[in-house]
Amino acid sequence: MAVNLLTKSDDYLHWRDKKLANAPTQLGDCIVEIQNPFKLSNTEKNKIIGLCQKGNFALFEIQPVAQYGEAIISINQQLGLKDFDAHLFVKTGGLAHITQSNNKDQGEFIPYTDKNIGWHTDGYYNAINERIRAFSLFCVNPADQGGVNEWIDPQMIYLLLREDNADVAKALTHPQAMSIPEHKVDGKVRRSTSTGPIFFIDEPTNELYMRYTQRKKNIEFLNSLEIKQAVEHLDALLKTNTDHHFEHLMQSGQGLLCNNVLHKRNAFTDDKDNPRLLLRGRYFNRIE
Ligand SMILES: [Fe+2]
């Protein structure tokens, strides 16, 4: 991708036309059935990679296996996703178990509850050297009711915003657009303050990247009318339903592989004996 698409209009137009020509709009075209998670065929692998190049995500399906964790780690590794984020609640092999938690410490974090989670990219608070460029989400067990995921390619959101209003898109590239204060536990800093743009070119990959969250708690936008209005504009666009918004309730055996798409989760109700369980991996490199 052209490194100057944010600043050079020729580069932008070239990138925009290619993006629009290739972007998937039908979910059914984006599902890859995997026969053997421990040995992807070239066709399966190429289809996943091709979908991620065009729209930054692919859905996949596998048949029931005894150890879902091993199967997912294997799929991810075959796609080059090895460099995982070993954050607080990650278990062996880099997967976190996303399920309702009774653990008080873990239960403070919304993913481990049954609540709605607004639009966000993963790791929006991470330092540059721990930037999340891809994640996988796999459904071992859906909720009794609810828990639908929605997502949109963040590069497409940038494109749609810029087509709609170039000033809005530009405001969101301000180097101090969004800050997340440090996270302290018992007086100890677990994560330092994170300040940066919402849209920017991720230098190591030369790709347009987005860090964003709709969480209101502990998020500070730069105190300028321009940025405040731009964020409102972004949220209004996210609320609409374009051809590029996707929505899916993952069933057992289904998963999402993506280059950190902007996503949300709807609230859910669990069957107490059989709670919702998703396996999530976060990686520092992209699928490409
Ligand atoms: Fe997330």
Confidence (pLDDT) at 91: 63
The predicted model gives 75-101 an average pLDDT of 81
- CA of 259 relative to ligand 1 center, distance in Å: 12
> If you measure from the C-alpha of residue 149 to the centroid of ligand 1, how many angstroms do you get, rounded to a whole number?
10
What's the CA-to-centroid distance between 70 and ligand 1, angstroms? Answer: 21
Ligand 1 center from residue 77 Cα (angstroms): 20
In this structure, of 3-12, 20-29, 40-49, 69-78, the range with the lowest mean pLDDT score is: 3-12
Kindly give, in sequence order, each residue whose CB lies less than 8 Å from that of residue 97, ignoring residues fewer than 6 positions away.
89, 91, 277, 278, 279
262-288: per-residue pLDDT in tens?
A: 999 999 999 989 999 999 999 999 998
What's residue 217's pLDDT? 87
**How far away, in angstroms, is 179 Cα from ligand 1 center?**
18
Q: How far is the CA of 210 from the centre of ligand 1 (A)?
A: 13
- Over residues 196-234, the pLDDT tens digits come to 999 999 999 999 999 999 998 889 999 999 999 999 999
pLDDT value of position 106: 65
Binned at pLDDT 50, 70 and 90, residue 3 comes out as low
Distance of alpha carbon 198 from alpha carbon 144, whole angstroms? 35
Q: Considering Cα of 142, then 143, then 144, then 150, what sign does the dihedral take?
A: negative
CA of 11 to the centre of ligand 1 (A): 30
Predicted TM-score (pTM) of the model is: 0.93
Q: Is the pLDDT of residue 1 over 70?
A: no
Mean pLDDT (whole number) for 120-131: 91
Predicted pLDDT of residue 152? 98
Distance 9 CA to ligand 1 centre (A): 32
Interval 228-251: pLDDT, tens: 999 999 999 999 999 999 999 999
Tell me the CA–centroid distance for residue 13 and ligand 1, in Å.
30
262 alpha carbon – ligand 1 mean position (Å): 8
- pLDDT at 128 (0 to 100): 82
Tokens representing 282 are 């976060």
State the pLDDT at residue 212: 97
| Model confidence at 140: pLDDT above 60 | yes
Q: Which of 34, 35, 234 is nearest to 136 (CA)?
A: 34
Q: What integer pLDDT is reported at residue 110 of this predicted model? A: 75
CA of 250 to the centre of ligand 1 (A): 15
CA distance 57 to 80: 15
Mean residue pLDDT of the chain comes to 93
Going from the Cα of 256 to the center of ligand 1, the distance in angstroms, rounded, reads 12
Q: How far apart are CA 245 and CA 152, in angstroms?
A: 5
3-state secondary structure the chain: CCCCCCCCHHHHHHHHHHHHHHCCCCHHHHEEECCCCCCCCHHHHHHHHHHHHHHCEEEEECCCCCCHHHHHHHHHHHCCCCCECCCCCECHHHEEEECCCCCHHHHCCHHHCCCCEEEECCCCCCCHHHCCCEEEEEEEECCCEECCEEEECHHHHHHHHHHHCHHHHHHCCCCCCEEECCEEECCEEEECCEEECCEEEECCCCEEEECCECCCCCCEECCCHHHHHHHHHHHHHHHCCCCCCEEECCCCCEEEEECCCEEEECCEECCCCCCCEEEEEEECCCCC
Q: How far is the CA of 147 from the centre of ligand 1 (A)?
A: 13
How far, in Å, from the CA of 121 to the mean position of ligand 1?
Answer: 6
Note the pLDDT of residue 72.
96
Q: What is the 3-state secondary structure (H, E, C) of 72-103?
A: HHHHHHHCCCCCECCCCCECHHHEEEECCCCC
> What is the CA(123)–ligand 1 centre distance, in A?
8
Distance CA 276, CA 205 (A): 34
Of the listed ranges 86-95, 97-106, 196-205, 270-279, the least confidently predicted one is 86-95
The DSSP bridge pattern shows strands 31-33 and 57-61 to be: parallel
Q: What is the pLDDT of residues 32-56, one digit of tens each?
A: 999 999 999 999 999 999 999 999 9
Q: Which domains does the chain have, with CATH numbers?
A: 9-283 (3.60.130.10)
